[in-house]
């Protein structure tokens, strides 16, 4: 009986979301635990079969670092960003496009989904430019060269729309190129936000390793279930948000300011977290609204 009640509770959400595009960024525990990843993929396939058009973006930082160490390359980070020289960029492409993307597509196919693997390079889906990082050193501001670390210049979403219109689930890695043919490593959270904005997606969903946005980053029980855009901006400017949550929230802010209706930050390690967040009144993570 409880299962029937859950289905009835989900019905208005299913009706509202039918035909909607949702961008889902897979990260955190789901990217390092294959069983969690496969359960996440099954949930995304369920979304597909109730009429939602999912677009999947993935990262792969731990796998990149692991591969680098096996090849005798030492990972180096500045302010959370991977310094990416030419050798590192080759490893990034090898891992993200050759291993992680292929693994996710295979899991979709194994569970009955029609997935197509892409990188930001394909069809110039994401055109990148070199990211400039500025830091204070004493009284001076200096530019730090991160190598082949990029940021989005613009997105060409036509190839995604073609795939969605033909019943495919795009699975996209955050590797992109500029118009001169230079390849860049981009932050997957940022790419997810930029792609969601370009598609005017109904929702942007960020899977991470924490319950959502926390009032106190040290207290996982201090979850903020719902937050408005201006309040989220204030949390960034006042330093309440820390470390890896900042690029996620900046991506969410940009997406909502460019036509995305709602964004969700949820714990991807919890079973069926996407379904609970989308199809129940209480949800499971943080919903950000304009």
CATH code of the domain containing 268: 3.40.1160.10
- Domain containing 112 equals 2-62+85-120+169-175+186-289
Asked whether residue 230 is assigned to any structural domain, the reply reads yes
For residues 80 and 60, what is the distance between their CA atoms, to the nearest angstrom?
14
Q: Is the pLDDT of residue 1 over 60?
A: no
Asked whether residue 213 is assigned to any structural domain, the reply reads yes
Asked whether residue 55 is assigned to any structural domain, the reply reads yes
Please report the pLDDT score of residue 167 as a whole number.
96
Contacts of 190 (CB under 8 A, 6+ apart): 151, 152, 174, 247, 250, 251
Q: Is the pLDDT of residue 242 over 90?
A: no
Asked whether residue 180 is assigned to any structural domain, the reply reads no
Q: Using one digit for the tens of pLDDT, what is the confidence trace for 171-206?
A: 999 999 999 999 999 999 999 999 999 999 999 999
Q: Using one digit for the tens of pLDDT, what is the confidence trace for 22-78?
A: 999 998 777 878 999 999 999 999 999 999 999 999 998 889 999 999 999 998 888
Q: Is 127 in contact with 153 (CB distance < 8 Å)?
A: yes
Q: Whose CA is closest to 153, among 123, 181, 182, 194?
A: 194
Mean pLDDT, all residues of the chain: 91
DSSP codes of every residue in 43-83? HHHHHHHTT-EEEEEE--HHHHHHHHHHTTPPP-EETTEEP
Mean pLDDT of 238-251: 84
Q: Is 56 in contact with 268 (CB distance < 8 Å)?
A: no
Please report the pLDDT score of residue 62 as a whole number.
86
Instruction: Count each helix (H run) and each strand (E run) in the chain, helices first.
Output: 10, 16
For residues 185 and 177, what is the distance between their CA atoms, to the nearest angstrom?
9
Asked whether residue 136 is assigned to any structural domain, the reply reads no
Q: Whose CA is closest to 126, among 20, 72, 55?
A: 55
What strand order describes the sheet that includes 126-130?
A: 150-155, 126-130, 175-177, 183-185
Asked whether residue 152 is assigned to any structural domain, the reply reads no
Asked whether residue 70 is assigned to any structural domain, the reply reads no
* Tally of structural domains, the chain: 1
Asked whether residue 14 is assigned to any structural domain, the reply reads yes
């Amino acid at each position: 009986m409880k299962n029937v009640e859950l289905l009835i509770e989900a019905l208005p959400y299913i009706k509202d979301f039918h035909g909607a595009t949702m961008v889902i960024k897979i990260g955190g525990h789901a990217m390092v635990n294959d069983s969690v990843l496969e359960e996440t993929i099954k949930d995304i396939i369920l979304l597909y079969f109730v009429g939602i058009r999912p677009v999947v973006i993935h990262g792969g930082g731990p796998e990149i670092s692991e591969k680098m160490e096996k090849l005798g390359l030492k990972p180096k980070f500045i302010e959370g960003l991977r310094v990416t020289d030419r050798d590192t960029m080759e490893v990034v492409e090898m891992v993200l496009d050759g291993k992680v993307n292929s693994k996710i597509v295979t899991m979709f196919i194994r569970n009955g989904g029609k997935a197509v693997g892409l990188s930001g390079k394909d069809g110039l889906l994401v055109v990148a430019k070199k990211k400039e990082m500025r830091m204070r050193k004493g009284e001076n501001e200096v530019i730090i060269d991160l190598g082949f670390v990029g940021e989005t210049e613009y997105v060409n979403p036509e190839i995604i729309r073609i795939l969605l219109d033909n019943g495919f689930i795009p699975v996209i890695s955050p590797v992109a190129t500029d118009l001169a043919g230079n390849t860049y490593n981009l932050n997957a959270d940022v790419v997810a936000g930029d792609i969601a904005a370009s598609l005017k997606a109904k929702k942007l969903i960020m899977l991470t390793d924490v319950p959502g946005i926390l009032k106190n980053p040290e207290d996982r029980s201090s979850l903020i279930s719902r937050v408005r855009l201006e309040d989220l901006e204030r949390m960034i400017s006042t330093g309440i948000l820390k470390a890896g949550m900042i690029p996620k929230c900046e991506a969410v802010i940009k997406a909502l300011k460019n036509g995305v209706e709602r964004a969700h930050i949820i714990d991807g390690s919890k079973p069926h977290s996407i379904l609970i967040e989308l199809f129940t009144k209480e949800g499971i993570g943080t919903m950000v609204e304009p």
